[in-house]
Amino acid sequence: GAVVSQHPSWVICKSGTSVKIECRSLDFQATTMFWYRQFPKQSLMLMATSNEGSKATYEQGVEKDKFLINHASLTLSTLTVTSAHPEDSSFYICRGQGGSQETQYFGPGTRLLVL
Amino acid sequence: AQKVTQAQTEISVVEKEDVTLDCVYETRDTTYYLFWYKQPPSGELVFLIRRNSFDEQNEISGRYSWNFQKSTSSFNFTITASQVVDSAVYFCALSNSGTYKYIFGTGTRLKVLA
């Protein structure tokens, strides 16, 4: 079946550095990519929605200059956490959506730890 | 406004017991979709079921069953004869037919004790 992969699955970085997370749809075209953040013991919070070839739409309270989202192709979207700080430590999950309710899949997630 | 409420924060049961996880939703849309996902300790979300607003038939899949009742805006999930491997956080989610955005509930942490 369709799979969405994320890379890396784990990343530890120093405060102030930037981290890029890749989300790839492996056998379907993800026209829309949703990016979520999940803090420990909390629910998933939508950060932004991106359509292929367009600028991402960010949810209220999410800094667009800090969380850069690129969705340049139908199979790849990236989330870059710029100048990461310890409070950005979280579990980041993408969800690829291919134009129907039946065609949408979550990635396995990326755990980010900022020291 | 759309909202999903999972009032049960944490449930503990003994293996082989049945357990029901509650989900109540709010939406003004006539066409919408409801989902259940399982999130084991690994973190990866596991899709369990999708149900559209026009299909109120209950569904059974092995030890899992779902009860969708539009009259009470509920979409409850029952695990029969629970097993330790069922221990996870379970999320209920709502999506409308237009944006495909999910509104997640706060999740219910299920602990099945041996």
Q: How many Å lie between the alpha carbon of B16 and the closest alpha carbon of chain A? A: 26
Distance CA A1, CA A34 (A): 20
Whether the per-residue pLDDT at A2 is higher than 80: the answer is no
Specify the pLDDT at position B57: 87
Between the alpha carbon of residue B56 and those of residues A31, A98, B51, the distances in Å are 29, 25, 8
Specify the pLDDT at position A54: 87
Are residues B106 and A46, on separate chains, in Cβ contact within 8 Å?
A: no
Lowest mean pLDDT among A74-88, B14-28, B89-103: B89-103
Whether the per-residue pLDDT at A71 is higher than 70: the answer is yes
Whether the per-residue pLDDT at B28 is higher than 80: the answer is yes
Q: Does A101 touch chain B (CB under 8 A)?
A: yes
Mean pLDDT, residues A34-50 taken together: 95
Specify the pLDDT at position A53: 85
Specify the pLDDT at position A1: 65
Kindly report the number of other CB atoms within 10 A of residue A86's CB atom: 9
Q: Which of residues 22-61 of A touch B (CB under 8 A)?
A: 32, 34, 38, 41-44, 46, 49
- If pLDDT is split at 50, 70 and 90, which confidence band does B97 have? confident
Specify the pLDDT at position A103: 85
- If pLDDT is split at 50, 70 and 90, which confidence band does B56 have? confident
Bond preceding residue A8 cis, omega within 30 of 0: yes
Bridge-based pairing of strands B64-69 and B74-79 is antiparallel
